[in-house]
Amino acid sequence: QVQLQESGPGLVKPSQTLSLTCTVSGASISTDAHYWNWIRQHPGKGLEWLGHIHYGGSTFYNPSLKSRVTMSVDKSKNQFSLRLNSVTVADTAVYYCTRVVILGAAAGPIDHWGQGTLVSVSS
Amino acid sequence: EIVLTQSPGTLSLSPGERATLSCRASQSVSRSFLAWYQQKPGQAPRLLIYGASSRAAGIPDRFSGSGSGTDFTLTISRLEPEDFAVYYCHQYGTSLWTFGQGTKVEIK
């Protein structure tokens, strides 16, 4: 059974860097069948795609965040990570790590989600 | 960027009734790369439909998806108590993914 679990600080100060890690169990992150992805949801709002990463290191970021976001993979730990720098209160959200099916060369639907972790940005 | 507009914002129905949810795209969704997710309070979304009309594993057949181009529909043939939730459409046909704003299906 595939499971994804987010971990990281629940509170980040403005202008600092938000760092989250997703630990994957029940599946290998080192597969050409999937991308690994971050989605966030502002309180009471809809879903926003942040970007995805392949185990080989290729990344695809949302242009609206591209200058602030970095994703990485640690194959030895079967984890992938998100860093979002220069955060503001507008970055307060529930952050989900997810698994994405690869269809041909394109990213497909999200077939597995972590439970999500609330990150608040506040001084 | 493809903007997805879902309607209605809220759907008030009784168990056993049919629910029809709409998702309209600002431009054509490539290869019908459109998915639907269900989200209940305090939970992560769950994949229901992908490729506009294919049910994900374990999804009951009362859920069906249809449409192509710019107009897509999620139909729940007979609402069960556990189906009252928020539903999101999602296009993955471009490198910039986007989601609809959601439709809440509530008990009338």
How far is it, in rounded angstroms, from Cα B33 to Cα B30? 6
pLDDT in tens, chain B (108 residues): 999 999 999 999 999 999 999 999 999 998 889 999 999 999 999 999 999 999 999 999 999 999 999 999 999 999 999 999 999 999 998 889 999 999 999 999
Which of B44, B92, B102 is facing A46, going by the closest CB pair?
B102
B101–chain A nearest CA distance, Å: 5
B103–chain A nearest CA distance, Å: 10
Residues of A in contact with B92 (CB under 8 A): 106-109
Which of A46, A96, A108 is facing B92, going by the closest CB pair?
A108
What is the per-residue pLDDT across A30-88, written as a single tens digit (0 to 9) for each? 999 999 999 999 998 999 999 999 999 899 999 998 789 999 999 999 999 999 999 99
SS3 B71: strand
Name which of A52, A47, A41, A48 is nearest A94 in CA terms: A41
Token pair 């994900």: residue: B56
SS in 3 state form for A5-67? EEECCCEECCCCCEEEEEEEECCCCCCCCEEEEEEEECCCCCEEEEEEECCCCCEEECCCCCC
Cβ-Cβ contacts under 8 Å between A and B: the total is 50
| CB-side neighbour CA atoms (13 Å) of B60 | 10
Whether A102 has its CB under 8 Å from any CB of chain B: the answer is: no
